[in-house]
Amino acid sequence: MKPVSPQSRLLAFTDHGLYCPPGNFYIDPWRPVDQALITHAHADHARAGHGAYLAHPASASVLRARIGAEISLQTLPCGQSITLQDARVTFFPAGHIPGSVQIRIEHRGETAVAAGDYKTTPDGLSEAWEPVRCHLFVTESTFGLPIYHWRPEAEVFAEIHEWWRQNREAGKTSVLLAYSLGKAQRVLRGLDRGIGPVWVHESIQRMNDCLRADGTDAPDFPVFRKANRGNESGQMIVTPPAAADALTRRSTVSLAQVSGWMTVRGNRRRLALDRGFVLSDHADWDGLNHAVAATGAERVWVTHGQTEAFSRWLREEKGLDAVPVATRFQGEGDGDNGESEAGP
């Protein structure tokens, strides 16, 4: 089934994005609108140019840093509701990155949930995902194939630490590629600082500062500068992929990336990585299926990535009224590649 622009009483996909007619607002719109509700601060969801923004308080500083200090921003914590025209709006945690929410809309006894990007397993940094009952569920499907299965975080960090120790023995600097918002904080939180000194790219430090200002327990690490280029034994540098070039031209570097895409070996080779570690801020196959079932929804709209395969699975195997949706979210890049410094 080809992607469509489905409509219902509560939600409709339009050429500006996902619209709520009874509330007269948009969710993560990709063209300028009067009222935008933002599920999270990744760049493909939070764009510039809207008249007013409503988002979770934990993403306020990041939104201001990325979109502009002058934006008209109202915040709403999870579990509290507001009324926008004829719609009642409540935020629930999405567990994707700090400040990420699922948006529940109620109107005359009907409910719809737009989940944005989400991850069903807790990461200790973002408010943990919660299942939300609804009639219509708008889900992502970035990793909506059975090949995507995440192992426990502790096992992934054991692998990262082993690689880091081997590099230290070989006199190499470890360079770990992680997007600056979400993935980087999660990686930094899990690193064993006893193995060696850890430096971060300045874009990561900026995000850490923003998140801490809004109450997230984001880690604090020194910024890597040219002055650090000496061969400090066992040093680790965490940097976004787009900023890695200058570092990786050196022969004494071992380069690795942390991403759900590292499941596919070809991606690692294509990116000329020495190692790939599978850790994602999105739900894996089991997580997506668990989330859809937990909503109890009979109608499901599928965005991001594997929209056709996952919606077909939900129709044919689960008996749901599921359709793939044509959107402008960039789901193929672990979601995080909507980051400005990482490019499309």
Residues near Zn ion (CB under 5 A) are 42, 117, 329, 335
Q: Which of 189, 176, 180, 181 is nearest to 97 (CA)?
A: 181
d(CA 186, CA 70): 29
Smallest separation, CB 120 to Zn ion (Å): 15
Inter-CA distances, 62 with 93, 204, 229, 266, Å: 17, 11, 29, 33
Nearer to Zn ion, 198 or 258 (CB): 258
**Gap between the terminal Cα atoms of the chain:** 26
- The residue (of 106 and 334) whose beta carbon lies closer to Zn ion is 334
Q: How far is the CB of 212 from Zn ion (least distance, A)?
A: 20
Smaller CB separation from Zn ion, 82 or 326: 326
Give rounded-to-5 percent helix, strand, coil for the chain.
Answer: 30, 25, 45
Nearer to Zn ion among residue 106 and residue 140 (C-beta): 140
Rounded to an integer, what distance in angstroms lies between the CA atom of residue 42 and that of residue 336? 6
Give the nearer residue to Zn ion in terms of CB position, either 114 or 195. Answer: 114
Closer Cβ to Zn ion, 255 or 278, answer by number: 278
Q: DSSP labels for 33-70? A: -SEEE-S--STTTS-S--SEEEE-GGGHHHHHHHH-TT
Other CB atoms within 10 Å distance of the CB of residue 155: 11
Residue 229, C-beta contacts closer than 8 angstroms, at least 6 positions apart: none
Could you tell me the smallest distance in angstroms from the CB atom of residue 130 to Zn ion?
18
Q: Are 153 and 190 in contact (CB under 8 A)?
A: yes
The answer to whether 105 and 92 are in contact (CB under 8 A) is: no
Give min distance, CB of 336 to Zn ion, in A.
6
- Min separation Cβ 228 and Zn ion, Å: 30
Smallest separation, CB 96 to Zn ion (Å): 6
Amino acid making up residue 133: R
Residue 224 or 329: the one with the smaller Cβ distance to Zn ion is: 329
CB of 140 to Zn ion, least distance (A): 6
